[in-house]
Amino acid sequence: MRLSRYFLPVLKENPAEAQIVSHRLMLRAGMIKQQSAGIYSWLPLGFKVLRKIEDIVHDEQIRAGHIPMQMPTLQTADLWRESGRYDAYGPEMLRMKDRHDRDMLFSPTAEEMFTDVFRAHVSSYKDLPLTLYQIQWKFRDEVRPRFGVMRGREFYMKDGYNFDLTKEDALHAYNRHLVSYLRTYERMGLQAIPMRADSGPIGGDDTHEFLVLAETGESEVFYDAQITDLTFGDREIDYDDRAACQGVLEEFTSRYARTDETHDEAAFNEVPEERRRVARGIEVGQIFYFGTKYSEAMNATVVDSEGNKVPVHMGSHGIGVSRLLGAIIEANHDDNGIIWPEGVTPFHVGIVNLKQGDEEADAACEALYKEFEAAGLEPLYDDRKERAGGKFATMDLIGLPWRITVGPRGLKNGVVELTSRRTGESVELSPADAVAKIKEIYAKHPDPKGA
Amino acid sequence: MRLSRYFLPVLKENPAEAQIVSHRLMLRAGMIKQQSAGIYSWLPLGFKVLRKIEDIVHDEQIRAGHIPMQMPTLQTADLWRESGRYDAYGPEMLRMKDRHDRDMLFSPTAEEMFTDVFRAHVSSYKDLPLTLYQIQWKFRDEVRPRFGVMRGREFYMKDGYNFDLTKEDALHAYNRHLVSYLRTYERMGLQAIPMRADSGPIGGDDTHEFLVLAETGESEVFYDAQITDLTFGDREIDYDDRAACQGVLEEFTSRYARTDETHDEAAFNEVPEERRRVARGIEVGQIFYFGTKYSEAMNATVVDSEGNKVPVHMGSHGIGVSRLLGAIIEANHDDNGIIWPEGVTPFHVGIVNLKQGDEEADAACEALYKEFEAAGLEPLYDDRKERAGGKFATMDLIGLPWRITVGPRGLKNGVVELTSRRTGESVELSPADAVAKIKEIYAKHPDPKGA
């Protein structure tokens, strides 16, 4: 993309309404625009990252054997009356009437509708196990939306639902989700720690939240420092291997890690003092096993191998897709702006032309641009007639992890400058070597394929 | 994908509620499930095609230089009061109040919100031309939703908006849209004819609808038969070349082609009688130039090169993404089911194992499966223990354009059978040749990249 043709409305001033750094930086980098309290337009740069995160979530869900589909945003009240949640859900549910005076609502979650699809089409244990999921816009009418996309009212969320014959099968689905979530967050450059959580209005006993440590986190968290040494890394996993999935669960959840909602002071005190940590965290996902709560209420049964009709065991599993942008920025920024992890960066590399209009510099930038495109990488080329300082400030603000600076002086010596946004370190090298280096970096961070 | 692990709830019976073939086939092929009048869940197969169509639209819009972003589905009434459309829009607009009693609505279109984003961030003619677009869920509360996704209430739509300094610039944007739409539909295997249309509540003079000829079309259409000989084909187009884009407009719109709304009997009668056609069509897109209607009402101005504040010239341009599934099926089916064009098929090839459990047949199918995956193609492997007849019926119903049938008898002679869904013709060839043939076919229909 050539910046002269892009729509990147960066702000010079710090917006007064933003209380936390990710909100401030998303506004300043021209990623979002608030349309009303807790409701945002996703400007081109913001949409690009949102889509990339969505695609990573799809990739990892599909890898785990979960099947993507999509529910409407609007639902009728009837299904929610069946489960008993229509009245229980309270004022966070946005309700309306259509022109025929039927009660409708904007989906805040979709247990009822997935259960409805399941019961309409599945009747035998032979069709299990089954995990369906969607990534779709949701609405929760928060009293006091704040922190930008971190606590918006309209938000983008992945919600998945497993349907299994037995509790044991459903717990394997739970473990598959845990593993796939660990992979998902790591691919985005995030460490998200599974913590034992409170199940809240969805109900159920087995539930973990995934928390990213950040000073601005809403939740107070208590954990054993050993847990931050764990990474899933690039190990292989067979999602059909129950023992392997259970092993990962045990590895990542056996140490003390809880939010304030489930914190147990006595248990925490058993952790050696030097390893006890109290910090703040941002919730970026949650997994639940809730058994037959919805299947019984909504009559979602299958016939088992002995001919008995039994309610299926279910769980639901969410990732806050739009919220993740905020969480990633909270964990990856400095005073000059965002620092995108390679896995989610909106453009792979920035090209800054120090002297737009200089024949040699223009030609060198164009050549780099074409080479990156040919390699399947997306460069953002700042081809505007602006001062170098302004171009650097924009690149730093929007946070592309790698920048190539091209100027007449360097070109005389056959070099351009390659700069890491994270470390600030620069090296001079030939344009060909710069391209090779960028290709090598992104070979380890392939673009997601999506659904 | 292995069918034993997929969720493909095909129906044996014809659903009584479906009046037209696309609706019937989408229900039977397990692509959608109605949740309430005009509101559908997109089951896995339907979602897969929806996403592919969405990605093709993105590819062609980005190629034309248009910039993707995304608006929220919910908007406040204020913007619509500014444009004067809040009261004018009538009962098709779904209105609601949030918990703080503010008037909200589910976006039926987004001229106001895009104009709002523009005026908030653009103030100079130097930032023009600019075309922003989104693909997002919309809602129109039709009195009598029908024909499945063809006339639903919640629907998925691409809507794009151009902002230009002059009428001339805006008409070039109009032409760019026309060209990109021609490419988009052809890539989906559709012929969509631009017809002079009525501008309706959006306003403006220059507008064309794109219509797919189909017996079940809602609109009566009148056209010169010569128009159906036109194809855009694989010619190159430079979207910055005004004359080239204007030339395409003239080529595709100079012959008589109108819907009943703008039909002019006298003009039609000037077409030689043997070339006059009266048929029915499905609207799958529309482009508008409406000048300064919204920019004046909403104060969207730029400073021009002489320092004057002038309202921008705008247009809006839509493609009915979810409706396209219906249109494609109306134009591509037979008595046995859907026949997907290669550009939009949910899976590239079906593999039918005639004797699941036979060691050789299973191994041959697995080998084919892996080879397709390695080639970046997605096979759907029917690995269920079902009769061959049932497997063929399912494959025919869901409409994958190519099927490979594998059985012990053929394998003894070293062959499998490759069948075209469209022609029904089969050839026997070695598994390696079958893979090569499929790869060759899809080299001409690369998967879209999306946004």
Report yes or no on A317 lying in a domain. Answer: yes
CATH of residue A382's domain is: 3.40.50.800
Q: Are B319 and B282 in contact (CB under 8 A)?
A: no
Question: Using only C-alpha atoms, what is the Rg of chain B?
Answer: 24
Contacts of A47 in chain B (CB under 8 A): 68-70, 451
Residue by residue, DSSP assigns B405-427 as: EE-HHHHHTT-EEEEETTT--EE
CA pair distance B125, B375, nearest whole angstrom: 47
Q: Select from A401, A363, A355 the least CA-distant residue to A380.
A: A401
Phi/psi at A69 (5° precision): -155, -170
Chain B within 8 Å of A376 (Cβ-Cβ)?
no
Phi/psi at B47 (5° precision): -60, -35
Both B316 and B361 in one domain: the answer is no
- Answer yes or no: do A68 and B47 touch at CB < 8 A: yes
Q: Select from A326, A30, A20, A60 the least CA-distant residue to A190.
A: A326
Q: Select from A366, A337, A352 the least CA-distant residue to A404.
A: A352
- Answer yes or no: do A7 and B113 touch at CB < 8 A: no
Beta strands B103-106 and B206-213 are: unpaired
CB atoms within 10 A of CB A236: 5
List beta partners, residue B314: B163, B291
pLDDT at A205: 62
Contacts of A40 in chain B (CB under 8 A): 72
Domain end position, chosen among A337, A372, A403? A337
CA pair distance B122, A249, nearest whole angstrom: 51
Token couple for B237:
């187009």
Domain end position, chosen among A301, A317, A337? A337
Look-up of token digits 């968290």: A221
Q: Is the pLDDT of residue A343 over 90?
A: yes
- Answer yes or no: do A451 and B116 touch at CB < 8 A: no
CA pair distance A239, A245, nearest whole angstrom: 7
- Answer yes or no: do B40 and A72 touch at CB < 8 A: yes
pLDDT at B216: 84
Look-up of token digits 């470390």: A423
Residues of B (115-174) whose Cβ lies below 8 Å from A = 116-117, 120-122, 130, 132, 137, 139, 141, 143, 153-154
Q: Are A389 and A443 in contact (CB under 8 A)?
A: no
Both A275 and A202 in one domain: the answer is yes
B39, B69, B73: residue with CB nearest A44: B69
A183-203 burial string, b = 16+ CB within 10 Å, else e?
bbbbbbbbbbbbbbbebeebe
Using one digit for the tens of pLDDT, what is the confidence trace for A166-194? 999 999 999 999 999 999 999 999 999 99
Q: A389 Cβ partners below 8 Å, 6+ apart?
A: none
Both A315 and A380 in one domain: the answer is no
pLDDT at A245: 97
A41, A76, A95: residue with CB nearest B117: A41
Contacts of B44 in chain A (CB under 8 A): 67-69, 132
User: What average pLDDT does this structure show over A6-18?
Assistant: 92
- C-alpha distance from B6 to closest chain A C-alpha (Å): 7
CA pair distance A196, A209, nearest whole angstrom: 6
- C-alpha distance from B28 to closest chain A C-alpha (Å): 12
User: Percent helix, strand and coil across chain B, each rounded to 5?
Assistant: 40, 30, 35
Could you tell me the residue range of the domain that residue A227 belongs to? 21-337
Token couple for A354:
């120090």
Indicate the angle between helix axes B359-374 and B431-443, nearest 10 degrees. Answer: 30
Residue by residue, DSSP assigns A226-291 as: GGGG---TT----TT-HHHHHHHHHHHHSS-EEETTT--HHHHTTS-GGGEEEEEEEEEEEEEEEE
CA pair distance A129, A65, nearest whole angstrom: 10
Domain end position, chosen among A337, A360, A382? A337
* DSSP H or E segment with residue A394: helix A388-398
CA pair distance A38, B72, nearest whole angstrom: 10
- Answer yes or no: do A76 and B36 touch at CB < 8 A: yes
pLDDT at A25: 98
Using one digit for the tens of pLDDT, what is the confidence trace for A381-403? 999 999 999 999 999 999 999 99
Q: Which residue of chain B is at minimal alpha-carbon distance from A97?
A: B96
A70, A99, A132: residue with CB nearest B7: A132
User: What CA–CA distances, in Å, run from A398 to A17, A333, A345, A437, B173?
Assistant: 20, 10, 9, 21, 29
Report yes or no on A60 lying in a domain. Answer: yes
Contacts of A74 in chain B (CB under 8 A): 39, 94, 106, 139, 153-154
- The percent of residues above 70 in pLDDT, for chain A, comes to 98
pLDDT at B17: 85
Report yes or no on A211 lying in a domain. Answer: yes
pLDDT at A249: 96
Beta strands A349-353 and A402-406 are: parallel
Q: Are A331 and A360 in contact (CB under 8 A)?
A: no
Decide: residue B16, CB within 10 A, 0-12 exposed, 13-18 middle, 19+ buried. exposed
Q: B320 Cβ partners below 8 Å, 6+ apart?
A: B155, B157, B283, B284, B285, B327
CA pair distance B241, B233, nearest whole angstrom: 18
- Answer yes or no: do A451 and B51 touch at CB < 8 A: yes
pLDDT at B197: 84
- Answer yes or no: do B41 and A71 touch at CB < 8 A: yes
pLDDT at B446: 95
Both A277 and A389 in one domain: the answer is no
Both B364 and B332 in one domain: the answer is no
- Answer yes or no: do A117 and B33 touch at CB < 8 A: yes
As for how many domains chain A has, the answer is 2
B5, B44, B137: residue with CB nearest A69: B44
Q: Which residue of chain B is at minimal alpha-carbon distance from A240?
A: B5
User: What CA–CA distances, in Å, run from A266 to A252, A270, A271, A393, B439?
Assistant: 21, 7, 9, 50, 63
Both A70 and A209 in one domain: the answer is yes
B71, B99, B137: residue with CB nearest A41: B71
Q: Are A227 and A208 in contact (CB under 8 A)?
A: no
Chain B within 8 Å of A396 (Cβ-Cβ)?
no
- Answer yes or no: do B41 and A98 touch at CB < 8 A: no
Chain A within 8 Å of B46 (Cβ-Cβ)?
yes
Token couple for A235:
């190990």
Phi/psi at B208 (5° precision): -125, 140
Both B252 and B318 in one domain: the answer is yes
Contacts of B71 in chain A (CB under 8 A): 35, 41-42
Report yes or no on A249 lying in a domain. Answer: yes
Q: Which of A17, A67, A162, A302 should we substitute to test contact with B (largest number of B Cβ atoms within 10 Å)?
A: A67
Contacts of A9 in chain B (CB under 8 A): 120-122
Residues of B (79-118) whose Cβ lies below 8 Å from A = 91-92, 94-96, 98-99, 102, 104, 106, 113, 116-117
Q: Are B106 and B39 in contact (CB under 8 A)?
A: no
- C-alpha distance from B196 to closest chain A C-alpha (Å): 31
Both B381 and B329 in one domain: the answer is no
Both A265 and A374 in one domain: the answer is no
Both A288 and A428 in one domain: the answer is no
Q: Are A154 and B73 in contact (CB under 8 A)?
A: yes
Q: Which of B78, B99, B132 should we substitute to test contact with A (largest number of A Cβ atoms within 10 Å)?
A: B99
* Total count of residues recorded for chain B: 451
Beta strands A192-196 and A94-97 are: unpaired
Residue B180: alpha-carbon gap to chain centroid = 12
- Answer yes or no: do A76 and B141 touch at CB < 8 A: no
Q: What SS3 string covers B117-174?
A: HHHHHCCEHHHCCEEEEEEEEEECCCCCCECHHHECCEEEEEEEEEEECCHHHHHHHH
Count of helices and strands (H, E) across chain B = 14, 23
Decide: residue A309, CB within 10 A, 0-12 exposed, 13-18 middle, 19+ buried. exposed
- C-alpha distance from A12 to closest chain B C-alpha (Å): 12
Cis peptide before A446 (omega within 30 of 0): no
Token couple for A137:
């816009």
CATH of residue B229's domain is: 3.30.930.10
Report yes or no on A411 lying in a domain. Answer: yes
Q: A83 Cβ partners below 8 Å, 6+ apart?
A: A111, A112, A115, A294, A297, A298
Report yes or no on A7 lying in a domain. Answer: no
* Total count of residues recorded for chain A: 451
Chain A within 8 Å of B40 (Cβ-Cβ)?
yes
Both A276 and A333 in one domain: the answer is yes
- Answer yes or no: do A50 and B70 touch at CB < 8 A: yes
Q: Select from B370, B403, B405 the least CA-distant residue to B388.
A: B405
CA pair distance B111, B317, nearest whole angstrom: 10
pLDDT band per the 50, 70, 90 thresholds, residue A216? confident
pLDDT at B218: 87
- Answer yes or no: do A96 and B99 touch at CB < 8 A: no
pLDDT at A204: 53
Taken in order A350, A352, A357, A362, the sign of the CA dihedral is negative
CA pair distance B55, B72, nearest whole angstrom: 19
A47, A130, A450: residue with CB nearest B69: A47
- C-alpha distance from A341 to closest chain B C-alpha (Å): 19
Q: Select from A81, A79, A154, A139 the least CA-distant residue to A114.
A: A79
pLDDT at A218: 87
CA pair distance B120, B126, nearest whole angstrom: 16
Report yes or no on A306 lying in a domain. Answer: yes
- C-alpha distance from B266 to closest chain A C-alpha (Å): 41
Both A76 and A108 in one domain: the answer is yes
Listed in order, strand segments (DSSP E) in B257-312 are 257-259, 276-291, 301-303, 309-311
Report yes or no on B186 lying in a domain. Answer: yes
B121, B143, B450: residue with CB nearest A450: B450
Q: What is the pLDDT along chain B (451 residues), one digit of tens a residue?
A: 999 999 999 998 888 889 899 999 999 999 999 999 999 999 999 999 999 999 999 999 999 999 999 999 999 999 999 999 999 999 999 999 999 999 999 999 999 999 999 999 999 999 999 999 999 999 999 999 989 999 999 999 999 999 999 999 999 999 999 999 999 999 999 999 999 887 665 555 689 999 999 988 889 999 999 999 999 999 999 999 999 999 999 999 999 999 999 999 999 999 999 999 999 999 999 999 999 999 999 999 999 999 999 999 999 999 999 999 999 999 999 999 999 999 999 999 999 999 999 999 999 999 999 999 999 999 999 999 999 999 999 999 999 999 999 999 999 999 999 999 999 999 999 999 999 999 999 999 999 999 9
B42, B67, B95: residue with CB nearest A44: B67
Q: Is the pLDDT of residue A348 over 90?
A: yes
Residue by residue, DSSP assigns A114-155 as: HHHHHHHH--BGGG-SEEEEEEEEEE---SS-BTGGGB-SEE
Using one digit for the tens of pLDDT, what is the confidence trace for A103-120? 999 999 999 999 999 999
pLDDT at B231: 96
Q: Which of A11, A32, A36, A80 should we substitute to test contact with B (largest number of B Cβ atoms within 10 Å)?
A: A36
